[in-house]
Structure 1
Amino acid sequence: MCYLCKDSGHPAALCPDRPGVGGAHDVRPRHRGPWLLPHRGGGHPAPSLSLRAILTIVGVGVASPEMIEAELNHLCQCVWDWQVTPTSDNSFTMIFPDAISLGYCTHSGDITLTLNKLVVDISEPKFDPKAVAVLDMAWILIAGLPDVARSERVIRNMSKILGKVVVVVDEISLRKEEEVQVKVKCLDSSKLRATVRVFFNVQGFDLKIGPSPQPRRPPPLL
């Protein structure tokens, strides 16, 4: 979500209300130019693997490489061959045209892509090129947590049943709502739908775990 105009359709770095040098108020046209055209002839630089990123759909959503490419062109206000490649049902890799746009999109938290209303997380890959699988990033809801378990420490210790890594525990839902919203990294977010009996001290509770359609409020930046 943009902290300047409060619009969820773009990061703050690409906001039309962002003050620029010399009184300019739109930083996005800086990304336009012959070096962003889809053809690579005439001395234009070819895509570099050093500018590769991973886009993960947060919550419920379906997209194709063509949809993702159109969304990225709209987000960055450019025309570029992103080389979008699916790695799972909700994850794609792509190559950015330059380090500036890569930095903007990977440091903006969750981004809402406005053409198809998809909430996504864009991050730089941090895995070995020999890796054969990548963990998904997803928001889930946990229902049925007893008061004794309503703490971030307890939920993070439940990683084995929630996912490989608990990334964020939404503090507002933890304190005030029946269902607690948690962001996790997992092998397959589509399979995170179950009822699990968990014992706290000597008492057992049935926790219902399922995907969250989308973050119900802007998550904190990581």
Structure 2
Amino acid sequence: MDQRSQQNPQQQGNRQNSALWDRLGGGKSEAGYRGRGDEVPDRVGMADGNRGSYKPRELGTCFWCGQAGHHQATCKNEPFCSRCKSTGHIAGKCHDAQGSSLQMLGYGFPGQGFFNLRIPGSHPQQVPGNMARIQILSGEASVSKVEAELKHLVDRWDWKVKQSDDLEYLVLFPNTNILDTFSKSSSIELALHNIKAKVFRSELAPGASAMRQTGWIKLFNIPDCAKNAEAIKLIAELAGEVIVVDELSLIREGPVRVKLNGRDISKIRGFVQVFINKVGYEIRFVPEESGGRLQKMGPPNAQRRTQKRKRMKMLEIQNWNGKKMKRLYEEQDKSKRSSYQAGTKETGGRNHSGGDITHTTMSEGGGGGQ
């Protein structure tokens, strides 16, 4: 009686477990030996003794892609994020779930590094249509001088000038009509401080100092073990913020194409040594040639510095030409003087004969008079 009383609770527990597995869709052996993609049989008519009668159970919705009609074990679609309702990543790697993040990007190339702050749910600040960029062509300018010049042109406006570069200033015009009038001119003369400037439309938001460029780059010498989207994204972040990786270039021979945001896409050019499993590879970065039509998100600082260097070079050439002309004039004047002195020595004072002749004539005249 003692053994029976000990076995009864175990048998009752086994019956409860088997009933639970039946409610979940089959016995434990069925779940253990079921292969991928196999339809799970559902017992029908077991109470009637029809043990051979089965019908396939509907699989429902796939938890990987969110689509119905197949199981996640055999799914070949991209993952679906239940948080942001988009494809390409799972909810655990969603940027909205991770919160704000700060990245260091572009530091594989000199002068191209920047800090990238991601704020979930934020949108770029809308740029007003009357934002302008004033480029100084000649004269000495400052924030106070530019404000005084603009105040002299339109006095009933609070001009807030911000210096963005050595020779460039950002300013908000009263309206687009005034901005169009000034931007259509090749240059404007600011009379108070004798400044010559050029006005451009600006895509920078008030308070911003620069905008990044968007373009394609090519990565050469990528080993086969790194030819996947995740590894390429990490390598390309040495040049900027990755937007998309060309998946066709991953399976083709040749370079891998990546679209990214960077400071100056044309300056992303060179070799970066990347170690993969203790083995170093010289990865070559080259901007994709597109006829010089890179999508410019705004006037980059590098472009403004290049324009400044060109202007300084032109001034140096002008100064050098002026000094050269002065030196040539001095040499010509010196050669004329030396030739004049040499001619005087050769004639033996013939240039003074006029004086002698005059003296002789006067003597003769004097003798005749006597």
| TM class by smaller structure | 0.3 to 0.5
Larger radius of gyration: 2
**Which one has a larger percent helix, Structure 1 or Structure 2?**
2
* TM-score using structure 2 length: 0.24
**Which one has a larger percent strand, Structure 1 or Structure 2?**
1
